[in-house]
Protein backbone atom coordinates (compact mmCIF):
# COMPACT_ATOMS: atom_id res chain seq x y z
CA UNK A 1 0.00 0.00 0.00
CA UNK A 2 1.34 3.44 -0.92
CA UNK A 3 1.35 6.06 1.82
CA UNK A 4 0.11 9.34 0.36
CA UNK A 5 1.21 11.44 3.30
CA UNK A 6 4.74 12.71 3.64
CA UNK A 7 6.61 11.88 6.83
CA UNK A 8 6.90 14.70 9.35
CA UNK A 9 10.66 15.17 8.95
CA UNK A 10 10.41 15.41 5.16
CA UNK A 11 7.51 17.84 5.44
CA UNK A 12 9.46 20.10 7.81
CA UNK A 13 12.49 20.11 5.52
CA UNK A 14 10.30 20.96 2.52
CA UNK A 15 8.72 23.87 4.41
CA UNK A 16 12.10 25.13 5.60
CA UNK A 17 13.50 24.94 2.08
CA UNK A 18 10.52 26.87 0.71
CA UNK A 19 10.87 29.49 3.44
CA UNK A 20 14.59 29.90 2.79
CA UNK A 21 14.00 30.26 -0.97
CA UNK A 22 11.27 32.84 -0.42
CA UNK A 23 13.36 34.81 2.08
CA UNK A 24 16.31 34.86 -0.33
CA UNK A 25 14.06 36.00 -3.17
CA UNK A 26 12.61 38.82 -1.05
CA UNK A 27 16.10 40.02 -0.03
CA UNK A 28 17.09 40.05 -3.70
CA UNK A 29 13.97 42.04 -4.65
CA UNK A 30 14.57 44.48 -1.80
CA UNK A 31 18.20 45.13 -2.74
CA UNK A 32 17.28 45.54 -6.41
CA UNK A 33 14.50 47.96 -5.53
CA UNK A 34 16.84 49.97 -3.31
CA UNK A 35 19.51 50.18 -5.99
CA UNK A 36 17.40 50.63 -9.12
CA UNK A 37 14.29 52.57 -8.06
CA UNK A 38 14.52 56.29 -7.27
CA UNK A 39 13.45 57.42 -3.79
CA UNK A 40 10.18 59.13 -4.89
CA UNK A 41 9.03 55.95 -6.63
CA UNK A 42 9.93 53.82 -3.60
CA UNK A 43 8.04 56.23 -1.37
CA UNK A 44 5.00 56.08 -3.64
CA UNK A 45 5.09 52.26 -3.75
CA UNK A 46 5.34 52.14 0.04
CA UNK A 47 2.33 54.41 0.43
CA UNK A 48 0.32 52.29 -2.03
CA UNK A 49 1.13 49.06 -0.17
CA UNK A 50 0.42 50.75 3.14
CA UNK A 51 -2.95 51.98 1.87
CA UNK A 52 -3.91 48.55 0.53
CA UNK A 53 -2.71 46.35 3.39
CA UNK A 54 -2.73 48.58 6.50
CA UNK A 55 -6.40 47.92 7.36
CA UNK A 56 -5.61 44.21 7.69
CA UNK A 57 -2.43 44.56 9.74
CA UNK A 58 -2.99 47.69 11.80
CA UNK A 59 -1.36 47.87 15.22
CA UNK A 60 -3.51 50.72 16.43
CA UNK A 61 -6.30 50.22 18.93
CA UNK A 62 -8.99 52.75 19.70
CA UNK A 63 -10.26 52.86 23.27
CA UNK A 64 -13.56 54.55 24.00
CA UNK A 65 -14.49 55.49 27.54
CA UNK A 66 -18.19 56.24 27.80
CA UNK A 67 -19.40 58.65 30.43
CA UNK A 68 -22.31 56.38 31.31
CA UNK A 69 -22.49 52.60 31.32
CA UNK A 70 -26.15 51.90 30.88
CA UNK A 71 -27.92 53.97 33.52
CA UNK A 72 -24.93 54.28 35.87
CA UNK A 73 -21.97 56.66 35.80
CA UNK A 74 -18.68 55.12 34.63
CA UNK A 75 -16.06 55.57 37.38
CA UNK A 76 -13.21 54.95 34.94
CA UNK A 77 -14.40 57.85 32.79
CA UNK A 78 -14.33 60.13 35.84
CA UNK A 79 -10.80 59.02 36.76
CA UNK A 80 -9.56 59.61 33.22
CA UNK A 81 -11.26 63.00 33.10
CA UNK A 82 -9.66 64.10 36.38
CA UNK A 83 -6.22 62.88 35.28
CA UNK A 84 -6.35 64.43 31.81
CA UNK A 85 -7.69 67.74 33.09
CA UNK A 86 -4.26 68.36 34.61
CA UNK A 87 -2.40 67.31 31.43
CA UNK A 88 -4.27 68.89 28.50
CA UNK A 89 -6.51 71.80 27.61
CA UNK A 90 -10.17 71.67 26.59
CA UNK A 91 -9.41 72.25 22.89
CA UNK A 92 -7.52 68.96 22.43
CA UNK A 93 -9.56 66.42 20.46
CA UNK A 94 -7.17 63.47 20.08
CA UNK A 95 -4.45 62.03 22.32
CA UNK A 96 -1.72 59.48 21.69
CA UNK A 97 -1.00 57.25 24.67
CA UNK A 98 1.96 54.88 24.73
CA UNK A 99 4.07 52.85 27.12
CA UNK A 100 7.30 51.08 26.28
CA UNK A 101 8.09 47.77 28.01
CA UNK A 102 10.92 49.31 30.06
CA UNK A 103 8.96 52.37 31.14
CA UNK A 104 7.03 52.45 34.40
CA UNK A 105 4.72 55.31 33.44
CA UNK A 106 2.55 55.98 30.40
CA UNK A 107 3.35 58.71 27.88
CA UNK A 108 0.46 60.99 26.90
CA UNK A 109 0.94 63.34 23.95
CA UNK A 110 -1.33 65.44 21.76
CA UNK A 111 -1.95 63.89 18.36
CA UNK A 112 -1.82 66.47 15.60
CA UNK A 113 -3.47 64.31 12.88
CA distances from 77 to 6, 37, 83, 85 (A): 57, 50, 10, 12
- For residue 30, is it left (φ>0), alpha (ψ between -120 and 50) or beta? alpha
CA pair distance 17, 10, nearest whole angstrom: 10
What value, to the nearest 5°, has the Cα angle with vertex 84 and ends 83 and 85? 95
Higher per-residue confidence, 56 vs 5 = 56
Q: What are phi and psi of 65, to 5 degrees?
A: -115, 105
Residues 45, 12, single domain; the answer is yes
Q: Say what the pTM is.
A: 0.37
CB 60 within 8 A of CB 71: no
For residues 110 and 113, what is the distance between their CA atoms, to the nearest angstrom? 9
Q: d(Cα 65, Cα 43) in Å, to the nearest integer?
A: 37
Q: What pLDDT does 7 receive? A: 57
Same domain assignment for residues 48 and 79: no
Same domain for 47 and 72: no
Identify the pLDDT of residue 54.
Answer: 73
Q: What is the pLDDT of residues 8-39, one digit of tens each?
A: 556 888 889 999 999 999 999 889 888 898 98
Q: Report the domain count for the chain.
A: 2
Q: Give the domain range for residue 46.
A: 8-53
* pLDDT attached to residue 18: 92
Residues 43, 76 within the same domain: no
> What percent helix, strand, coil does the chain show, rounded to 5?
50, 10, 40
Amino acid sequence: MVDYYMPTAASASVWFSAYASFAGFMMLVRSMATELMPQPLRSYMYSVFNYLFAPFFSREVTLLFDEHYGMTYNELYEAIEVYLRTKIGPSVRCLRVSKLPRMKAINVSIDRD
